């Protein structure tokens, strides 16, 4: 994993840009005109969701105000759905800025993880089968209030 301290420029071929372009599959939880929410393929707990803006931002420094607001509102919707589906109050909201912080995908994203900080699994470590992610995405999408 890169620990570089150098600023990173936006790469149009990053994995989340490819999702937004419809070039690679993902398990959608929610979408609106400014944001997309989908299942993390290597969850740190069951029900780990990522929320991204439809803006080319590497990290928080690049994020425009209207997209920042939209991401936060989508986070609220997803978190409420996670609380309902997993019957737990505790949801971690996490976001990494820069490789030095451990960021691995350089398109801004917020992690929403139904877990405790004391029980969090390893970051981007173990891939979960597509069928299981599809099932959870369906459950979450079904209870999201737009």
Q: How many residues bind ligand AMP (CB under 6 A)?
A: 12
Question: How many CB atoms neighbour CB 15 within 10 A?
Answer: 15
- By rule CB under 6 A, what string of x and - marks binding of each residue 29-68 to ligand AMP? -----------xxx-------x------------------
Q: Does 8 bind ligand AMP (CB under 6 A)?
A: no
Find the binding residues for ligand AMP in span 82-101 (CB under 6 A): 96
How many whole angstroms separate alpha carbon 102 and alpha carbon 1? 8
Longest dimension (CA), the chain: 41
How many whole angstroms separate alpha carbon 36 and alpha carbon 21? 12
Which is closer to ligand AMP, CB of 49 or CB of 70? Answer: 49
111 flagged as catalytic? no
Candidates 46, 69, 80, 102: give the one binding ligand AMP (CB under 6 A). Answer: 102
How many whole angstroms separate alpha carbon 4 and alpha carbon 98? 8
Catalytic positions: 109
């Amino acid at each position: 994993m890169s620990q570089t301290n150098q600023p990173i420029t936006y790469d149009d071929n990053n994995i989340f840009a490819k999702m937004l372009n419809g070039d690679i599959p993902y398990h959608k939880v929610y979408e609106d005109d400014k944001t997309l929410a989908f299942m993390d393929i290597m969850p740190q707990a069951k029900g780990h969701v990522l929320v991204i803006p439809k803006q080319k931002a590497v990290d928080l420094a690049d994020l425009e105000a209207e997209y920042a607001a939209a991401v936060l509102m989508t986070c609220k919707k997803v978190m409420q759905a996670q609380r309902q589906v997993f019957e737990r109050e505790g949801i971690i909201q996490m976001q990494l800025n820069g490789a030095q912080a451990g960021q691995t995908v350089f398109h801004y994203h917020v992690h929403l993880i139904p877990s405790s900080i004391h029980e969090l699994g390893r970051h981007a470590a173990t891939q979960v089968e597509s069928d299981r992610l599809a099932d959870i995405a369906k459950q979450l999408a079904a209870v999201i209030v737009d």
